[in-house]
Amino acid sequence: MKEKLEKLKSILAETQDLGFAGAVLSWDQETYMPNGGAEARGHILGTLGKIAHQKFTSDEVGKLLEDLESETADLDPDSDDARLIKVTKREFEKNTKVPGDMIVEKANLTTASNMAWREARENNDFSLFAPHLEKLLDWNKRYVELFGPYDHIYDPLLDDYEPNMKTAEVKAIFDIVRPKQVEIIEAIAAKPEIDDSVLHQKYPIDAQTAMGNEIITAIGYDFNRGRMDTTHHPFSTTFGYGDNRITVRYEEDFFNPFLFAAMHEAGHAMYEQGVSKDLERTPLFGGTSLAIHESQSRLWENMVGRSKPFWDWYYPKLQERFPNQLENSDVNSFYKAINKVEPSYIRVEADEATYNLHIMLRMELEIDMMEGKIDIKDLPDAWNSRFEEYLGIVPDNDANGVLQDVHWSFGLYGYFSTYALGNLVSAQLWNRMLKDHPNVEEEIRAGNFTSIFNWMSEKVYRHGAKFDPQELVKSITGSNIDGDAYIQYLHKKFGDIYEL
The catalytic residue positions are: 265
CB atoms within 10 A of CB 499: 8
Q: Which of 179, 193, 188, 182 is nearest to 391 (CA)?
A: 182
Q: Are 60 and 11 in contact (CB under 8 A)?
A: yes
CB-count exposure of residue 473 (10 Å: 0-12, 13-18, 19+): buried
Query: What span, in angstroms and rounded, lies between the C-alpha atoms of 337 and 24?
Result: 38
How far is C-alpha 309 from the geometric centre of its chain's CA atoms?
Answer: 25
Q: Which residues contact 214 (CB under 8 A, 6 or more apart)?
A: 317
Query: What span, in angstroms and rounded, lies between the C-alpha atoms of 352 and 379?
Result: 26
Could you write out the DSSP letters of every residue in 199-259? GSS---HHHHHHHHHHHHHHHT--GGG--EEE-SS--EEE-STT-EEEEE---TT-SHHHH
Query: What span, in angstroms and rounded, lies between the C-alpha atoms of 138 and 32?
Result: 30
Per DSSP, the three-state class of 74 is: coil
Q: Which of 289, 419, 423 is nearest to 361 (CA)?
A: 419
Per DSSP, the three-state class of 23 is: helix
For the chain, report the end-to-end CA distance as a whole number of angstroms. Answer: 63
